[in-house]
Amino acid sequence: MPGTDHDIVISGGGVAGLSAAALFGTAGFRVLCVDPAPPVTERDAAGSDLRTTAFLQPAQALLDRAGLWPRLAPHAAELRTMRIVDAGGEAPEPRLVRDFNSSDISGRPFGWNLPNWLLRREMVSRLDELPNVDFRPGTGTRALFTRESEARVTLDDGQITRCKLVIAADGRASPMRRAAGIDVSTTRYGQKALAFAVTHPIPHDNVSTEIHRSGGPFTLVPLPDHEGLPSSAVVWMEDGPEALRLAGIPVPEFEAEMSARSAHLYGPLTLASRRSVWPIITQVAKRMSGQRVALVAEAAHVVPPIGAQGLNMSLADMRALLELAEAAPARLGDGAMMDAYHRQRHAEVCARAAGIDLLNRASQMHARPLRDARAMGLNAIYSLAPVRRAMMQMGLGARD
Ligand SMILES: Cc1cc2nc3c(=O)[nH]c(=O)nc-3n(C[C@H](O)[C@H](O)[C@H](O)COP(=O)(O)OP(=O)(O)OC[C@H]3O[C@@H](n4cnc5c(N)ncnc54)[C@H](O)[C@@H]3O)c2cc1C
């Protein structure tokens, strides 16, 4: 597309922005991706992202299209079973265990789990292979000026760059979303998530386990073995003050508390990384797009980490945007394309955010009668095979 410096400027080089750069770059668009924070690509370095991402089936197909999957596959742990455990009774013991097996709906795993720091490393290497992608860590976007025919983005080194489409992948406080004047609605839960890695004596057998008691779910997601021992990524959601207390107590005390909270399902848990703390909110932008601007990932939607929906919804944003762009490259970023993107994604994003909000509130409940009702609800869903299969399909995003 002559006349502009780039076809697309991506604001943000987190996992979402890097995925978008690889995807649109592989499709042949001229892409500039900027982020003021250079990516941390080593597990134990200060500031590394210790969360993991469980990529569900549709997301994996998109990563393949971006030339990323062959790099990621050797490091991925398969998720073949989702185990939901209710430990909401008197004692923190499993009183209801229900397995959702991927073999009920297809011969493939539900998904593949990968550490976020490793995703950044492999994604940056992929961008190095693409001559039409200019990735500039250390530079951010500062201002946005749009008109009907193009966008002008001011970078924080003072350079003004012209493009057809700005993809805002600059996180939950998205400067490009603000510059485009798009509002958000936010729900707070007074809740935080601890994210860290553990090793355990009992193998996970590719089972992802979500244990509900109160305060929020305690989730173990399979990782490849760590130093010869079975390993899992843990996301432990709790009321804010309790999460901060847990993040600060000495390691032996923390290990005792987390082993009890895991209902000892995989034996005593040993901490195998730093503990990182994440605030939990639901936030949805009022629109998915503005003039020459498309919002993706946390710039558009933030959800509690339940059912591995966050980044998978983000990849669904990118798939929708890519299909529109490839269908009419000469109209990249025009008003009709931006409206179509909003229409395709917004209702789906709102519905998913509402569903996850409900699940989170159910998991947070402290009162015993409510916890009992939750266990009965899970049992009822599970007992009806067609409902169970439909829930699994929906969770995968296979009914987008
Ligand atoms: C504990 C936890 C566990 C999770 N587990 C899962 C999971 O298993 N599966 C899943 O799908 N999702 C999961 N999620 C959600 C997922 O991690 C997020 O959706 C995803 O990391 C968000 O990525 P992002 O790139 O949108 O935002 P961010 O990672 O916040 O990236 C935004 C980037 O924008 C940059 N930026 C800021 N300002 C500017 C600027 N002016 N110019 C340019 N760049 C800028 C920032 O430096 C940053 O690098 C989890 C979330 C949490 C909290």
Choose one of 23, 51, 396 to mutate for the ligand 1 pocket test, by most ligand atoms within 8 angstroms of C-beta. 51
Q: Helix 251-261 vs helix 240-248: angle between axes, to the nearest 10 degrees?
A: 130
Choose one of 298, 309, 352 to mutate for the ligand 1 pocket test, by most ligand atoms within 8 angstroms of C-beta. 298
User: pLDDT of 219-241, one tens digit each?
Assistant: 999 988 889 999 999 999 999 99
Q: What is the pLDDT of residue 399?
A: 44
* Ligand 1 pocket residue status of 235, Cβ below 6 Å: yes
Q: What is the pLDDT of residue 374?
A: 72
The rounded Å distance from CA 302 to ligand 1 centre is 9
Q: Whose CA is nearest to atom 53 of ligand 1?
A: 278
* Ligand 1 pocket residue status of 51, Cβ below 6 Å: yes
* Ligand 1 pocket residue status of 13, Cβ below 6 Å: yes
Nearest to 117 by CA among 70, 66, 59, 72: 72
Cα–Cα distance for residue pair 58/311, rounded to 1 Å: 12
Model pTM above 0.95: no
* Ligand 1 pocket residue status of 199, Cβ below 6 Å: no
User: pLDDT of 288-315, one tens digit each?
Assistant: 999 999 999 999 999 998 877 788 899 9
Q: What is the pLDDT of residue 400?
A: 39
Residue linked to tokens 């409510």: 370
User: pLDDT of 240-254, one tens digit each?
Assistant: 999 999 999 999 999
Q: What is the pLDDT of residue 92?
A: 78
Nearest to 258 by CA among 247, 269, 266, 248: 269
Tell me the backbone φ, ψ of residue 301, rounded to 5 degrees: -155, 135
Q: What is the pLDDT of residue 52?
A: 86
> Is 397 in a helix, a strand, or coil?
coil
Give every residue of the chain whose pLDDT is below 70, as ranges: 1-2, 378-400
* Ligand 1 pocket residue status of 36, Cβ below 6 Å: yes
The rounded Å distance from CA 172 to ligand 1 centre is 8
Pairing of strands 31-35, 8-11: parallel
How many CB atoms within 10 Å of residue 309?
22
Q: What is the pLDDT of residue 35?
A: 97
Pairing of strands 96-101, 81-86: antiparallel
Using alpha carbons only, what angle is made at residue 353 by residues 348 and 357, rounded to the nearest 5 degrees?
Answer: 150
Closest atom of ligand 1 to 221 CA is 8
Q: What is the pLDDT of residue 395?
A: 65
Q: Do the Cβ atoms of 200 and 249 come closer than 8 Å?
A: no
Cα–Cα distance for residue pair 243/216, rounded to 1 Å: 11
